[in-house]
Amino acid sequence: MTSPARTHRDVFGADPAGVWSAPGRVNLIGEHTDYNGGLALPIALPQRTAAACSARGDDLLRIHSVQAGETVEVALGDVGPGSPHGWTAYAAGVLWALRADGCEVRGMDVTVDSAVPVGAGLSSSAALECAVGAAASDLFGLGLLADDAARARLARACVRAENEVAGAATGGMDQSAALLCRTGSALLLDCRDGATEHVPFDLAAAGHVLLVTDTRASHALNDGQYEKRRRACEQAAAELGVATLREVPPGALDEALARLSTDELRQRTRHVVTEIARVEAAVAALRDGDLAEVGRLFRASHASLRDDYEVSCAELDVAVEAAEGAGALGARMTGGGFGGSSIALVPEDAADDAAVAVRAAFAARGWAEPQCFPVTAGPPAARDI
């Protein structure tokens, strides 16, 4: 990644007022729980999206992305549900959502450059939104980076950008992770009330690493699978007479399953309820330093996502099995599924072997080479320069 400030000068002919950045994320555990009012446990990645930005006095957003390889102009007055199309929606949508929230925001010149793999389930979309949102906050004096409450408000604007302008019906985990995570900690996110807690996550001190595998597989969610899962959860909650599946305690699961109308709803509900319980167990295990238990929970989470929620795919299953076969305490798909990335909890001295095993398993099947890299829990969105 070259300096986004220099690219900005080349594209717009002037220095940016500053550079802001926001991280991608991996979710340690708690998948497909956010839109069920449940618990998730993401960390911020060291990989970040940078946005070199200047404020404008008019209502024009001019935005360049190194990854998209183009510069686009968007009039803020034209931004709204479904408009603009394409990648600029993620940035323009944030300015639109901030205005809708009563913030005085004008146009900007923006240059985006990212080290977060795009479309790999590591949340490049929220990194883009939150980098632009952080810049807008500082450039227009909104104070939305000041504390966790202000950051949560900015996260909500970024969620609206993604849901309403970009039209991607995701939950709120990604934006909360990008804005609220802390170095060396995982973020326990309660999606029922937005409450957060920071859980120590320093694997190096315990002689372990978290290995991410970007499978480079992408069986797009565009065929409506994500929406289908959300609707199934809503229907299950409606049949059970609760607002969300969060309201089903693990102890009442069997009784709830018996009341549901179809096997599909039973499978989806079993995943959500057991997955939320696994997040609580993982937090307790991390606090106890019991990484073997964390690994066991990763395995159970993956099996549940594969068999009950049916959002895994061959590439994710192979990456998980290969890592476990090479000494990982546990591994699981992370993110929405149908491709994207997996994570593995690996003793330091087995990390290279695990990466080699994953690559070999893909090569043996004739699949494109996956990217394996260790990650640590990094800092949230901030001004860099």
For residue 125, state whether it binds Mg ion (rule: CB under 5 A).
yes
Q: Which two tokens stand for residue 164?
A: 């309403």
Integer Cα distance of 156 and 336 in angstroms? 20
- Choice among 34, 109, 174, 308 that is catalytic: 174
Sheet holding 330-334, edge to edge: 330-334, 339-347, 208-218, 371-375
The answer to whether 124 contacts ligand ADP (rule: CB under 6 A) is yes
Q: Among this protein's residues, is 148 annotated catalytic?
A: no
CA dihedral 79, 83, 85, 88 (to 10 degrees): 20
Q: Among 87, 201, 226, 338, which residue sits at the site for ligand ADP (rule: CB under 6 A)?
A: 87
Give the residue among 143, 142, 292, 316 at the shortest CA–CA distance from 216: 316
* Residue 122 Cβ vs Mg ion, minimum distance, rounded to whole Å: 8
Helix pair 173-180, 148-160: axis angle to 10 deg: 140
Query: Is residue 50 close enough to count as binding ligand ADP by CB under 6 A?
Result: no
Cis upstream peptide for 4 (omega within 30°): no
Residues facing residue 26 across a β-bridge: 43
Closest CA to 220 of 139, 87, 351, 119: 119
Task: Tell me if 174 sits within 8 A of 184, measured CB to CB.
Answer: no
Candidates 103-111, 123-131, 184-192, 233-241; binding stretch for ligand ADP (CB under 6 A):
123-131
From 77-85, 112-120, 146-154, 200-208, span contacting ligand ADP (CB under 6 A):
112-120
Residue 122 engages ligand ADP in binding (rule: CB under 6 A):
yes
Query: Residue 52's closest CA among 95, 84, 85, 15?
Result: 15
The residue within the footprint of ligand ADP, chosen from 17, 55, 118, 150 (CB under 6 A), is 118
Q: Which amino acid is at 64?
A: H
Phi, psi of 374 (to 5 degrees): -80, 145
Positions 95 through 124 that interact with Mg ion (CB under 5 A):
123
Among 50, 53, 76, 128, which residue interacts with ligand ADP (rule: CB under 6 A)? 128
Out of 68, 72, 281, 284, name the contact with ligand ADP by CB under 6 A. Answer: 68
Nearer to ligand ADP, 46 or 347 (CB): 46
Instruction: Say how many C-beta atoms besides its own lie within 10 A of residue 15's C-beta.
Output: 12
The answer to whether residue 125 forms part of the interface with ligand ADP (CB under 6 A) is yes
Secondary structure letter of residue 107 according to DSSP: -
Q: Which of 216, 303, 380 is nearest to 29 (CA)?
A: 303
Decide if residue 301 touches ligand ADP (CB under 6 A): no
176 sits near ligand ADP (criterion: CB under 6 A): no
Tell whether residue 72 is a contact of ligand ADP (CB under 6 A): no
Phi, psi of 217 (to 5 degrees): -90, 140
Min dist CB 252 to ligand ADP, Å, is 34
Say whether residue 67 binds ligand ADP (CB under 6 A). Answer: yes
Q: Is 342 in the site for ligand ADP (CB under 6 A)?
A: no
- Which region, judged by CB under 6 A, interacts with ligand ADP, from 32-40, 115-123, 135-143, 279-287? 115-123
Tell which one of 5, 97, 112, 351 touches ligand ADP (CB under 6 A): 112
Residues that bind Mg ion (CB under 5 A): 123, 125
Give me the active site residues, please: 174
Residues that bind ligand ADP (CB under 6 A): 49, 65, 67-68, 87, 90, 112, 114, 118-125, 128, 168
